[in-house]
Amino acid sequence: MKRDSIESEACGLKIAQLLLPRDDDRLFAQTKDAYNQHAISITENTSASLGLVSSFGFILLIGHIFFRKKNTDPILDALTHLNLSAILLATMGGFSSLIAFFFLASIRAYNRISVFIAFFALAAIFVFLQKRAKTHPVLWCTLLTAIGLYTQSSPIDAPHIKYPQIAFEYENDRAFVQKIEQTLPPGSMVFQLPFIHFPEGARHLINSYAHFKCPLHSCTLKWSFGAMRRRDVSRWQKRTSRLDLPDMLKEITQKGFTGLYIDKFGYADAGGEIHNRLSQLLKTDPIYDKHGRSFWDLRDYAH
């Protein structure tokens, strides 16, 4: 997928976002919301918050640059250099912008280096504790862990809110794929519609990787999704998916596909037209999941 060099700045790191609380923080969510309302270029960098403990470690590493003493811990020196290098590279308008402009625009989301910055910061905290906290080290570690978990979690992360829906989706997908595997013999190939580029090819209401759900649950079948952009297989899938339906069915069955999977959320009309035409052509009923996604057995049609 072609990238524009300006994306490295749009998805660049913001130091303010590192040190401010997360968007749904238990105590300071309003502070973060007030910042987001007036700041520019709020992208996924809003999720790069380090939390209270890591923020302290981050400031410790910055301070070490200016107040470094002789014979300091070499590990702390190394962490300071790594932290500074990450900031200079990833900060909006930093070296990442020059790299993207002159050499490599494919890498864009430099704000994701915040994970490494958090590691450097936490490592600095523990190096500091080794030197300073000679008594009750376990107590200090336990306290900092509790503070870190509290400031980097939120009530919306509670399992009773998210997990039931996730469990329902998982079980629905698993049961659906089991029905398909009971229908087709092992080694059969299933063509997936609508065609979606991989990677990053979201369409209508389905995201870029929705077609991976079935392959993840499948043990005996082969699925069409996942061909890399601009490669022959991907080009063939794209070209074939645009054919008139009878021609498309002829093309995919000649290639050996004996099943057709349709995600209705990839169509503006929720797949209404293609389902009606398939019913007329195949003269058979599909297998549906609880959301209306469908599977069509093409073996009789291919024969």
One-letter amino acid identity for 209?
Y
Strands 189-193 and 222-223: parallel
Q: What angle do CA 87, 89, 90 make, to 5 degrees?
A: 70
One-letter amino acid identity for 137?
P
Yes or no: say if 222 and 190 are a contact pair by the CB < 8 Å rule.
Answer: yes
State residue 270 phi and psi, 5-degree precision: 60, 30
- Which pLDDT score, from 0 to 100, does residue 240 have? 93
Q: Please, what are the averages of pLDDT over each run of 10 residues along the chain (303 residues)?
A: 72 87 80 83 83 89 85 84 92 85 81 92 87 75 84 74 82 93 94 89 82 92 90 92 91 92 89 88 87 89 83
């995919």: which residue's tokens? 252
- Which pLDDT score, from 0 to 100, does residue 93 have? 84
**Lookup: tokens for 254:** 């000649």
Beta strand extents in the chain (DSSP E only): 189-193, 222-223, 257-262, 287-288, 294-297
**Lookup: tokens for 110:** 């430099």
Q: Please give the Cα distance from 178 to 172 (Å, whole number).
A: 10
**Lookup: tokens for 218:** 């499948």
- Which pLDDT score, from 0 to 100, does residue 257 have? 93
Give residue 283's region: left, alpha or beta (phi > 0; psi -120 to 50): left
Name which of 42, 38, 33 is nearest 14 in CA terms. 42
Side-chain-side CA neighbours of residue 104 (13 Å): 8
- Which pLDDT score, from 0 to 100, does residue 159 have? 67
One-letter amino acid identity for 88?
L
Side-chain-side CA neighbours of residue 174 (13 Å): 6
164 upstream amide cis, omega within 30 of 0: no
One-letter amino acid identity for 135?
T
Yes or no: say if 238 and 227 are a contact pair by the CB < 8 Å rule.
Answer: no
